């Protein structure tokens, strides 16, 4: 005799059956969805963009970034050690030549200037004292030399007298020898004195020259400090716009420290940067396209900086129109470095359909609203155009929207297509 199943077992069996049915329905739904995707052969016209192939120039370019910088920016530094007393102008002010920007407290440097003036006066006074002393020593040495000459003349006369008296018996040979020795000693002493006199003349001249040179050096240092004091009047020497100024009133500034920046906002240049992967391609003289908002400006690379920082190389671009109205200081712009170009090529507007491959498939749209897959060979490319080396003829319409989801289809129907 059959026994009735427990309600719990019946419930579990029923739940299991429901679960199996649900899983089967989900799998079937997914399968139908993908099957329909695979079989789908049409696309709405509103989903695609097309471009007509044409003949024209194509430039191959490297993408980089850039910043708009004033064509020149004068950096004004402190010529002396001082402190900021007053800030006379604020950033953004239009400046004329001769207009004061900052007022510096120059008291410490003025004290040093007066000290150097006193030291120079002392040095000049010591030169005069040395000159008088040298003249006196030289005069004394010349007088001693003259006295020695007179003494030698006297000894010569005594020697002649001794020799004459020796002949008549009035002197002995010892007296004559003594007179000869005295004359010889006097002549040697005179020779030594003349040598000392010659040395003293040269030595005194060298000492005077050395002291004079020291005074000249101190005089030049004083003139240099006087020039720096005059420069410490922070005044603009050309027209421009004050882009930055040290506004910390009372703060001390050392010699060479930046006080203000003055720029000419009438003309600009671009400081560009790109990955060092392109270091061997980015060179001075290459043409450049700078994209400013919706405007393309042309220019040339005038300088490639030799150092690489954090994997980035930097270069400077001189614009053909460096005073364009769209340019603003510190504006970030897109920069495209043109590495090669073709004057006449079959070109198509660039779009997501082109993925950087040399050989790839694209869809060509005919007048019946049918897009046919075709393999093309891609050449040069930039942000505007792609060069087509083979596979497309001028006048054909190319779908530049990414249709990689239909890449298994040879043809696609464009629904609601307007001829």
Residue at which a domain ends, from 343, 365, 380: 343
Residue 237 reports pLDDT greater than 90? no
Determine the pLDDT at residue 88.
83
Residue 11 belongs to some domain of the structure: no
pLDDT digits (tens, 9 = 90+) for 80-109: 788 888 888 888 788 888 888 888 877 777
Kindly report which listed range (10-24, 107-121, 405-419) carries the lowest average pLDDT score: 10-24
Between CA 35 and CA 21 the distance in angstroms is: 21
Residue 35 belongs to some domain of the structure: no
Give kind and range of the element (H or E) at residue 272.
strand 268-275
Report helix, strand or coil for 321: coil
The CATH number of the domain holding residue 101 is 2.40.50.100
| Residue 155, both tokens | 């000894």
Question: Mean of the pLDDT values across residues 123-137?
Answer: 77
Are 365 and 397 spatial neighbours (Cβ–Cβ below 8 Å)?
A: yes
Domain that holds residue 364: 43-58+345-415
Determine the pLDDT at residue 335.
93
Between CA 84 and CA 257 the distance in angstroms is: 12
Question: Mean of the pLDDT values across residues 75-81?
Answer: 81
Q: What length does the chain have?
A: 419
Between CA 139 and CA 324 the distance in angstroms is: 81
Which distant-in-sequence residues (6+ apart) come within 8 Å of 411 by Cβ? 41, 370, 371, 372, 373
Split at pLDDT 50, 70, 90, the class of 304 is very high
Are 259 and 306 spatial neighbours (Cβ–Cβ below 8 Å)?
A: no
| Residue 298, both tokens | 């042309």
Same domain, 118 and 221: yes
Determine the pLDDT at residue 7.
63
The CATH number of the domain holding residue 331 is 2.40.30.170
Residue 417 reports pLDDT greater than 50? no
What are the backbone angles phi and psi of residue 248, rounded to the nearest 5°?
Answer: -85, 85
Nearest to 397 by CA among 364, 374, 368: 364
Q: What percent of the chain has pLDDT over 70?
A: 90
Residue 25 belongs to some domain of the structure: no
Supply the DSSP string of 117-137, one letter for each residue.
Answer: HHHHHHHHHHHHHHHHHHHHH
Residue 96 belongs to some domain of the structure: yes
Determine the pLDDT at residue 28.
65
Same domain, 112 and 99: no
Which of 92-106, 241-255, 333-347 holds the top average pLDDT?
333-347
Residue 398 reports pLDDT greater than 80? yes
β-pairing, 411-415 vs 42-44, is parallel
Question: Mean of the pLDDT values across residues 341-358?
Answer: 87
Cα dihedral across residues 204, 209, 214, 218: positive or negative: positive
pLDDT digits (tens, 9 = 90+) for 7-50: 666 566 667 666 777 777 777 666 555 544 444 577 887 888 88
Reported for 290-293, long-range contacts at CB under 8 A and 24+ positions apart, including other chains, are 290/66, 290/317, 290/319, 290/333, 290/334, 290/335, 290/336, 291/333, 291/334, 291/335, 291/336, 291/383, 292/68, 292/324, 292/326, 292/327, 292/331, 292/333, 293/326
Same domain, 371 and 393: yes
Same domain, 247 and 276: no
Determine the pLDDT at residue 10.
56
pLDDT digits (tens, 9 = 90+) for 138-192: 777 777 778 878 877 887 777 777 777 777 776 678 877 887 787 788 778 778 7
Are 162 and 176 spatial neighbours (Cβ–Cβ below 8 Å)?
A: yes
Residue 111 belongs to some domain of the structure: yes
Determine the pLDDT at residue 38.
45
Same domain, 164 and 252: no
Residue 7 belongs to some domain of the structure: no
Q: What is the mean pLDDT of the chain?
A: 81
Residue 22 belongs to some domain of the structure: no
Which of 77-91, 194-208, 342-356 holds the top average pLDDT?
342-356
Q: What is the DSSP letter of 280?
A: T
Residue 202 belongs to some domain of the structure: yes
Same domain, 115 and 183: yes
Supply the DSSP string of 54-89, one letter for each residue.
Answer: EEEEEEEEEEEEEEEEES-EEEEE-SSSEEEEEE--
Q: How many domains does the chain have?
A: 4
The whole-model pTM stands at 0.50
Same domain, 332 and 351: no
Determine the pLDDT at residue 2.
47
Same domain, 132 and 203: yes
Nearest to 319 by CA among 294, 300, 338: 300
Same domain, 129 and 203: yes
Supply the DSSP string of 177-246, one letter for each residue.
Answer: HHHHHHHHHHHHHHHHHHHHHHHHHHHHHHHHHHHHHHHHHHHHHHHHHHHHHHHTSEE-SS-EEEEEE-
Higher pLDDT, 241 or 26: 241
Between CA 3 and CA 17 the distance in angstroms is: 22
């Amino acid at each position: 005799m059959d026994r009735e199943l427990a309600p719990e077992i019946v419930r579990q069996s029923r739940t299991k059956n429901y679960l199996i049915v649900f899983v089967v329905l989900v799998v079937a739904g997914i399968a139908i969805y993908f099957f329909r995707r695979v079989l789908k052969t049409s696309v709405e016209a509103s989903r695609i963009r097309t471009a007509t192939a044409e003949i024209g120039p194509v430039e191959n370019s490297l993408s980089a970034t850039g910043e708009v910088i004033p064509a020149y920016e004068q950096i004004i530094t402190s010529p002396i050690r001082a402190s900021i007393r007053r800030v006379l102008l604020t950033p953004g002010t239009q400046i004329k030549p001769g207009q004061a920007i900052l007022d510096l407290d120059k008291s410490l440097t003025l004290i040093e200037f007066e000290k150097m003036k006193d030291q120079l006066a002392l040095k000049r006074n010591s030169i005069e004292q040395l000159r008088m002393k040298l003249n006196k020593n030289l005069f004394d040495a010349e007088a001693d030399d003259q006295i020695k000459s007179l003494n030698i003349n006297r000894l010569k006369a005594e020697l002649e007298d001794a020799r004459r008296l020796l002949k008549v018996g009035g002197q002995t040979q010892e007296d004559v020898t003594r007179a000869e020795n005295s004359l010889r000693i006097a002549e040697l002493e005179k020779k030594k004195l003349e040598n000392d006199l010659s040395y003293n003349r040269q030595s005194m001249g060298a000492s005077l020259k050395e002291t004079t040179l020291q005074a000249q050096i101190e005089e030049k240092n004083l003139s240099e400090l006087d020039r720096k004091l005059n420069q410490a009047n922070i005044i603009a020497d050309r027209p421009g716009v004050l882009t930055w100024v040290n506004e910390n009133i009372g703060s001390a500034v050392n010699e060479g420290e930046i006080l203000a920046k003055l720029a000419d906002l009438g003309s600009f240049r671009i400081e560009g940067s790109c990955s060092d992967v392109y270091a061997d391609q980015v060179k001075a003289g290459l043409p450049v396209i700078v994209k400013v908002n919706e405007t393309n400006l042309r220019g040339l690379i005038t300088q490639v900086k030799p150092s690489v920082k954090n994997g980035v190389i930097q270069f400077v671009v001189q614009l053909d129109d460096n005073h364009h109205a769209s340019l603003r200081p510190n504006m970030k712009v897109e920069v495209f470095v043109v590495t090669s170009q073709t004057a006449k090529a079959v070109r198509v507007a660039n779009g997501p359909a082109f993925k950087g491959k040399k050989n790839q498939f694209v869809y060509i749209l005919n007048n019946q609203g049918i897009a046919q897959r075709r393999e093309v060979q891609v050449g040069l490319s930039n942000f505007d155009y792609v060069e087509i080396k083979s596979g497309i003829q001028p006048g054909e319409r190319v779908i530049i929207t990414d249709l990689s989801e239909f890449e298994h289809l040879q043809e696609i129907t464009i629904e609601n297509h307007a001829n």
